[in-house]
Chains A and B, each alone.
Chain A
Amino acid sequence: MKQVDNSKLLWGMVIDLDKCIGCGACSVSCQAENNSPFKDDESDKLRSMTWLKIYRLHNHKEFPEYREAYLPRPCMHCDHHTPCVSVCPATATTKDEEGGIVSQIYTRCIGCRYCVAACPYHARYFNWFDQHFPAGTEEYLNPDVSVRMRGVVEKCHFCHHRWMLAKQEAAYKGEDTSKVTYTPACAEACPTGAIYFGNLKDPESDVAKLSKDPRAFRLLEKLGTQPKVYYLTSRDWVKEWSDNNMTDAPAAGGH
């Protein structure tokens, strides 16, 4: 078998928090693309499944200096010692050799939820119940993404299926499949152009350049998990939220 050269492809994302307005278009687009279910009441946020969750941050100041900002959080696709992959007893979650996407194979998942506990970013969601699609809504389900069953964990997969489709298309046209690029649903929808996606190993790509921007940071960098999702901000108080220990301000602050 041909060895995949994994030194050339590393999918990554850069989210410009100066541009992000927390409108939710990314999160809703993600739900629509990935056949996410919804319940009658989604206000219990520990049970609400949003692969791309938007956190509200604030600057701890008083009226009228108070400001809010938003931080969209997909799966970080940790590149190093990926915590969820390390603990999965069923090999249901793996980090792809090519591209480095942390994937989730629903039918292999045994529902032990070790990964949910291990993930430092709360990016994983467990299906406690059967997903329910009210009358008519089964019609809009996307055939490119499996509907999840009760008892398995699910998470953001960087719209992996879009990459597969792009590769298929390239193969069909006789093009080099290793050179394809694609855009996940969230980056595609973002109305302010805050989400960039691409190959971190391609020095010409937006993400490669922006990940080295002086404004760039990653969440909980001290853990050494090397997330492939970078954030940009020029507001210090936004950056301070990226590591719980960088400030002694309370960690609570909306969702």
Chain B
Amino acid sequence: MKPSRRRFLQFSMGAAGAFLFTPINWKLMDDVAIWTQNWSWVPVPEDGARAYTTTTCRICNGGCGIKVRLIDGKRAVKIEGNPESPINRGGLCAWGAAGLQYLYMDENRVPGPMKRDRVTGVRTRLTWEAALELAAAELKKAGGEGTAIVNGRKRSTMNGLIRQFAADLGAAHYCEPCDGGDVQKAASELLLGRPGRYGFDLERAQVILSFNAALLEGWASPVRMMRAFGTWMSGTEESRARLFQVDPRASLTASKADTWLPAKPGTETIVALAMANVMIAGNMVAPEAAGAPGFDQFKSLAEAYSPSKAAELTGVEADQIREAAEAFAKAERAVALSGQGHGNTPEPLSLAWAVLALNGLKGNFNKEGGVYLTPEPPGLDLGAGVENGSLLELAKGVAQGKEKLSALLLFESNPLFNGPDPAAMAELMDKTPLVISFSPFWDESTKKADLILPDLTYLERWDDVDTPLGMPYQAVSVTKPIFAPRHKGAPTGDVLAKLTKALGKTPPFAKYEDALKARVAKLQATGHGLAASEEPAAPMDLLGSGPGKGWGSAEEAFEEVAATGLWYNPSGQGDQVTLSFEKTLEVKPLEPKGDAQHYPYPLVVFDTARVASGFYANPPFVTKIIEDDFLLKKDIFINIHPETAHALHLKEGSKVVLESETGQGWVGVHLTQGARPGVIYLPAGLGHTTFDPTLKDKGLSGAAMVEAVEDPHNGQPLTFLGRAKLRKA
């Protein structure tokens, strides 16, 4: 057969046809696909019996009940909300849902006790015996007068144990970072003569005035706030609750609110006083407030801020102020609250006081849909006489050579990152010869510590959360170990007992679990209380559901509270008080520090729904969902108004240097109409220099960019407002 053009074409056609019709190609392709997929390194998770264990999330102080799904009791694979907890009712926040990453990200965990040589930076692993011996010897050498304790676990029974340890040590300095709860207490003391906590009956309120609290980004007890919002938004548009948000930017809460009152940063107190002005002028004041001592004094203060005057000062339209004040005053059930971001840092005392005064004018105390003056549930009363001092003052004293520290003990506290004033904290740590960290994580401060006695994560230890901020009923949530610890950490409560013994003193409890049992015994002794053992009453009915009958014995109580994760007392009772306006504060807009000439723009550092702001840093799953106009590669984006950008010849996505008196760094520029012209907004919580690569060296730390303003009324550092400038390289 001779090759010919015809034959060649026939052959080609035949081959093409055969190729299309034979299954061999498809079979081969399929095999290749399977082969390329079956790599030995693709993990196959081991299967086993599924079971849930109930405990409490400890990432923030919100006290949410959680259920952890375990496989064969040895692997935790998922965290879900506990529907039986009245606090979160089965809901979770993003951080809570990613909780297992705190447990299992090995590179973020301190594997066991270790010491670090300051000169070489070399770390040596120690046994617990050796570590405790070393710690005891060093603490003896340092002596109480040279020792400072920073306690980041104030909302737990651990607080008492750490205070007692400070007392036993004779520590000269004891610091609990100030948060929203402390400001509440101070405000309550001023207005009600009672330095106690209070909570808000948000679920039943029809009108909610929120001043700066990041209600929907994770304020106080985040999931409870979000649940309450879900309740407000239920029903028809007419029957829904109305939320008024005073906020310096179109935050998530401001966007979702019915009305956003865009106050210039630092002028929120004036907005509150202008609302008081409207209420007083319109005779919308409750008789007990109008007859309260010092009312005239308060009245004359409020009179200075008519809505139009306030509009000038704050940038909020007078009509909006009137509308909000009238809605608040006329609603049957309305509540006003204040906060700063997530509530981990304080708002100005004048703001908390003015907002509490609004509630006073409404006659809102211990009333449905109002403010409940619920006291703290009974505690262990340990460490009496230990005075709480300011860490920033101490750092300044050491820097100026007025004070000398020989040892600094950090309990779930990362001052190098969270501040206040991280630079001052770095100097403090440098000048202190011995820094001991009890952190389970490689946070910035722990990396610099000379001795690490690592705790366990909240999923591996006993712990508890005292009544969360804003809660109108008493609640103590209990955390218990879900299985044996993953690393060679040890619960700090137990470690403190051993250290106390080594120092020749008697610890109040041999281990933390005993302290917790004693605490629950105190709760049981009240004769009241419920456990989260069945579906809680509907949010609207919870406070009316009664205080519960309690338990016959402390053992019984502990067993049920530990099993269900919560003791609570929704009695709907609060402290009886008399209102007094005699201690009226002088009110001025908050002035950021820094030279206005050099740093022309106010800088607002804000908390967001995607970045954690407390001791627990952002887990990878949450960092993953941060938008790319917020964090791109390693750059964090500031938010500015297009007009501001135009004046500086900047565009969306431009890279600039953000500079303030205390720091500088590269940032991206995101233009948004949600920003007030002439103000720079920087998201808080990024800019870590440690942790895994999803978080390390990303963005710029807000805490490092702001020079804290001292609150004129209580001296606490206010860290959300500073001054800055932008320059192109």
- Residues on A facing B (Cβ under 8 Å): 16, 18-19, 21-25, 27-29, 31-33, 35-36, 38-45, 48, 50, 54, 56, 58, 61-69, 90, 106-107, 109-111, 130-131, 133-143, 147-152, 185, 188-194, 234, 254-255
Contact = CB atoms under 8 A, between A and B. Distances in A.
B37 A192 contact: no
Contacts of B703: none
Contact of B42 (A43, A56, A67, A130): A130
Given A45-B628, A191-B93, A254-B627, 17 more contacts: A19-B234, A24-B625, A28-B621, A40-B692, A41-B694, A43-B633, A65-B673, A106-B37, A134-B105, A136-B105, A141-B45, A141-B77, A149-B42, A151-B36, A185-B78, A189-B91, A192-B230
Contacts of A190: 91
A18 B240 CA distance: 11
A85 B223 CA distance: 38
A189 B92 CA distance: 5
Contacts of B674: 58, 63, 66-68
Contact of A63 (B47, B75, B626, B677): B677
Nearest to A165: B50
Nearest to B36: A151
Given A38-B620, A189-B81, A43 B36 contact: no
Interface string B197-233: 0000000000000000000111000110011011001
Contacts of B218: 23
Which residue, B91, B255, B631, has most C-beta atoms of chain A within 10 A?
B255
Given A28-B625, A134-B107, A189-B92, A23 B262 contact: no
B41 interface: yes
Interface in B26-49: 29-30, 33-34, 36-39, 41-48
A28 B37 contact: no
Which has the most chain A C-beta neighbours within 10 Å: B34, B45, B96, B262? B45
Interface residues of B, number: 87
A234 B229 CA distance: 16
B45 A142 contact: yes
A71 to B, nearest CB: 13
Contact of B36 (A54, A90, A142, A150): A150
18 contacts: A19-B229, A21-B229, A28-B98, A32-B79, A41-B694, A42-B626, A43-B626, A63-B674, A63-B677, A68-B252, A133-B43, A136-B109, A140-B100, A149-B38, A189-B80, A189-B97, A193-B91, A254-B627
B106 interface: yes
Contacts of B90: 188
A63 B78 contact: no
Given A25-B94, A254-B629, A137 B104 contact: yes
B322 interface: no
Contacts of A135: 106-107
Nearest to A61: B673
B610 interface: yes
A93 to B, nearest CB: 14
B233 A131 contact: no
B93 A23 contact: yes
Given A21-B609, A64-B260, A141-B43, A110 B30 contact: yes
B107 A191 contact: no
B392 interface: no
A175 to B, nearest CB: 18
Given A67-B250, A152-B37, A191 B88 contact: yes
Contacts of B234: 19
Contacts of A45: 627-628
Contacts of B105: 134, 136-137
Contacts of A56: 627
Given A41-B633, A149-B39, A193 B621 contact: no
Contacts of B624: 31, 38, 42, 48, 50
Given A32-B100, A42-B623, A255 B628 contact: yes
Contacts of A44: 628
B636 to A, nearest CB: 11
A130 B41 contact: yes
B540 interface: no
Contacts of B233: 16, 18-19, 192
